[in-house]
Amino acid sequence: MGKFIIAAIAMLAFYPGHLLADTTKPVSKNKNNDVKDIIRHVLESNEVFVKRSTSEYFKPFIHGQNPMATMITCADSRLHTHALDVHPDGDLFLVRNIGNQVPTAEGSVEYGVRHLHTPVLFIIGHSSCGAVEAAMSDHSKLEPAIKRELDTMKVAGTKTDDAAEVKKSVETNVHHQVSYALTKFADEIRKGSLTVIGGIYDFKNEYNQGSGRLVLINCTSSRQFGQTIV
């Protein structure tokens, strides 16, 4: 691996900026992508970022962070922060895992809420979630660590070939995670220092609001205390 990294860095060193590969398109793995291509894509993407960012841009980050929200999303590669925040740097204390779960990342979520004092906790699921489908299926034979993380999800059925049932299960899991957060952070919510929002990133346009839309489905903690949002 070390050889590959050195080779990729060497390749990049001889890459004039205008010859950088198209970093606007995803590079999914396939038989034509070897490890060097993948490493090069990341280094080239970083090169584009470094070139367009001035030192002024990083100044606010040098002595700490002050994010506006803690956000937990599924780790799914089709869901990324650029869809939810144009400039996520410094804005989002982001936690990701399979099934966008609070219990399996409780310490990280708690750090965002109780130490960084973010006023909002977003819990974001997504279309066609593989973790939701796995939780709907028999997952008793999966690796213990994966099984343990699926066991903390709540779904609405077992028919993974039924798009409506999968969609309902994605929603059920988001509501379940929000409910868990409402109990855990009840004091913060009661004091009005935290709002918990549940949403679904809909890249399949299942809600007919446009592909890639973030659809909010649970604003319980806001309604509960008479706040008006969205």
Name the residue nearer to Zn ion (CB basis): 111 or 203. 203
Strand order in the sheet with 195-202: 92-97, 69-74, 120-126, 195-202, 213-218
When asked if residue 136 is in the footprint of Zn ion (CB under 5 A), the reply is: no
When asked if residue 129 is in the footprint of Zn ion (CB under 5 A), the reply is: yes
Dihedral (CA of 187, 216, 126, 82) sign: negative
- CB 124, min distance to Zn ion, A: 10
Q: Which stretch binds Zn ion (CB under 5 A): 9-17, 25-33, 68-76, 158-166?
A: 68-76
Separation of alpha carbons 150 and 123, rounded Å: 16
CB half-sphere exposure, 138, CA atoms < 13 A: 1
When asked if residue 72 is in the footprint of Zn ion (CB under 5 A), the reply is: no
- CB 169, min distance to Zn ion, A: 11
- CB 221, min distance to Zn ion, A: 23
Total number of residues binding Zn ion (CB under 5 A)?
Answer: 4
- CB 114, min distance to Zn ion, A: 26
When asked if residue 109 is in the footprint of Zn ion (CB under 5 A), the reply is: no
Contact pick of 69, 74, 156, 219 for Zn ion (by CB under 5 A): 74
Please report which residue ranges of the chain form alpha helices under DSSP H: 2-13, 35-52, 55-58, 106-110, 130-136, 144-151, 163-184, 186-191, 220-224
Element spanning 214, H or E: strand 213-218
Residue in the structure block whose two tokens are 């690796």 = 143
Q: Give the per-residue contact string, 158-197, with Zn ion (x = CB under 5 A; - = no).
A: ----------------------------------------
Separation of alpha carbons 219 and 198, rounded Å: 6
When asked if residue 76 is in the footprint of Zn ion (CB under 5 A), the reply is: yes
Report whether 27 contacts 39 (CB < 8 A): no
- CB 135, min distance to Zn ion, A: 10
Contact pick of 71, 92, 113, 131 for Zn ion (by CB under 5 A): 131
Name the residue nearer to Zn ion (CB basis): 189 or 199. 199
- CB 201, min distance to Zn ion, A: 9
CA angle 183, 184, 187 (to 5 degrees): 85
> DSSP label at 103?
G
Name the residue nearer to Zn ion (CB basis): 8 or 135. 135
Amino acid residing at 87: H
- Residues at the interface with Zn ion (CB under 5 A): 74, 76, 129, 131
